[in-house]
């Protein structure tokens, strides 16, 4: 992994929290193939490292991520003589990334420090908790360039905010301030810029102290419920509880409750 300060993704550690910083600030951290490859490798490394109990995804400079790098010759129609296979970029890069974020064995916090546009917005929205600075914003920029929301946008938006708002955001492509994103339930929390770093740190540390395996199973069960009826969801919950009930963290959580002491969770 490229550990230089110019690497497309910077990796840092704070206890059990691993922070991945998109690092192309001059173009608001827009995605290139190299950035995709570095990010996926960093996620795999976090997944394989059992000391990691939470991942934070954020951006360097004033933006979080402006989506696809539109100047990239591989995807810019003008540079490719008028036509490019945009679907190829989705299959090759955005789909594996969105799926990996959704299947990571640890919780993922999107720390949205500035504008999140296009696929950059939807990659953030696919994370488990989205914490945004008050000066940040979310833009479904796709309609302005003749595309549909991708990186999971068509799936995520109606589930997060309902069809009416999903269509309004996607068709008009307006800038949605972080405060409004919180108000309509698109994100978990909007915090003042001055409090943003501390809030992200505290949220990530708290997630890292919780029973990691149960958190990952919670995400998976909530996602599975999207295509199950109520009875099937109850059965799925029973199956997951059966597995978690035999794990160390359940015994520890109950023992800690009974002894009126803080629990120390260690499963992953
Ligand atoms: O392969 C495929 O194409 C399929 C995948 C598609 C996925 C997608 O994400 S499609 C959507 C792509 N993203 C966009 O359309 C957003 C484009 N950017 C913007 O609309 C604006 O930059 C923002 C609203 C995000 C921010 O505006 P503002 O005024 O704060 O900043 P700016 O001046 O526009 O941008 C600052 C610099 O970043 C500027 O470069 P310069 O002039 O200083 O040299 C700008 O060109 C550059 N930049 C911003 N976004 C991108 C970008 N460069 C390349 N690609 C970008 N997406």
List, for residues 103-141, the tens digit of each pLDDT value.
Answer: 999 999 999 999 999 999 999 999 999 999 999 999 999
- With a 6 Å cutoff on the Cβ, whether 145 touches ligand 1 is yes
Residues of the chain with pLDDT under 70: 74-82
Q: Which residue has the tokens 């770093």?
A: 197
Q: Which of 67, 71, 78, 147 most suits a substitution to test ligand 1, by most atoms within 8 Å of the C-beta?
A: 67
The angle, 0 to 180 degrees and rounded to 10, between the axes of the packed helices 212-224 and 230-245 is 160
Ligand 1: which residue has its CA nearest to atom 19? 66
Q: What is the pLDDT of residue 83?
A: 74
Cα 84 to ligand 1 centre (Å): 18
Ligand 1: which residue has its CA nearest to atom 18? 66
Q: Which of 69, 87, 117 most suits a substitution to test ligand 1, by most atoms within 8 Å of the C-beta?
A: 117
Q: Which residue has the tokens 């550690």?
A: 13
Cα 71 to ligand 1 centre (Å): 9
- What tens digit of pLDDT does each residue of 82-109 get? 678 889 989 999 999 999 999 999 999 9
Closest ligand 1 atom to 69 CA = 55
Query: In the numeric block, which tokens belong to residue 260?
Result: 């009126």
- With a 6 Å cutoff on the Cβ, whether 121 touches ligand 1 is no
Contact assessment for residue 108 and residue 101, using Cβ atoms and an 8 Å cutoff:
yes
Residues 147 and 169: their CA atoms lie apart, in Å, by 14
Q: Which of 24, 31, 66 most suits a substitution to test ligand 1, by most atoms within 8 Å of the C-beta?
A: 66
Q: What is the pLDDT of residue 84?
A: 80
Contact assessment for residue 109 and residue 127, using Cβ atoms and an 8 Å cutoff:
yes
Pairing state between β 108-112 and 129-133: parallel
Phi, psi torsion values for 237, nearest 5 degrees: -60, -40
């Amino acid at each position: 992994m490229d550990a230089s300060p110019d690497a497309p993704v910077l990796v840092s550690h704070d206890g059990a929290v691993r922070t991945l910083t998109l690092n192309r600030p001059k173009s608001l951290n827009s995605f290139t193939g190299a950035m995709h490859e570095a990010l996926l490798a960093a996620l795999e490394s976090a997944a394989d490292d059992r000391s990691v109990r939470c991942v934070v995804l954020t951006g360097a400079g004033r933006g979080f991520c402006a989506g696809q790098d539109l100047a990239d010759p591989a995807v810019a129609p003008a540079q490719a003589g008028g036509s490019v296979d945009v679907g190829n970029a989705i299959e090759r890069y955005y789909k594996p990334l969105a799926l990996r974020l959704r299947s990571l064995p640890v919780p993922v916090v999107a720390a949205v420090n500035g504008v999140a546009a296009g696929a950059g917005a939807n990659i953030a929205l696919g994370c488990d908790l989205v914490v945004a600075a008050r000066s940040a914003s979310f833009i479904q920029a796709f309609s302005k360039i003749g595309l549909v929301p991708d990186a999971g946008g068509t799936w995520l938006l109606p589930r997060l905010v309902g069809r009416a708002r999903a269509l309004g955001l996607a068709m008009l492509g307006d800038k949605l301030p972080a405060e409004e994103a919180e108000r309509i339930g698109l994100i978990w929390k909007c915090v003042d810029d001055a409090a943003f770093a501390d809030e992200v740190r505290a949220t990530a540390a708290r997630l890292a102290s919780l029973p990691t395996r149960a958190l990952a199973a919670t995400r998976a069960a909530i996602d599975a419920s999207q295509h199950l009826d109520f009875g099937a969801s109850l059965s799925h919950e029973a199956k997951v509880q059966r597995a978690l009930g035999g794990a160390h963290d359940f015994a520890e959580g109950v023992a800690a409750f009974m002894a009126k002491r803080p629990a120390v969770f260690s499963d992953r």
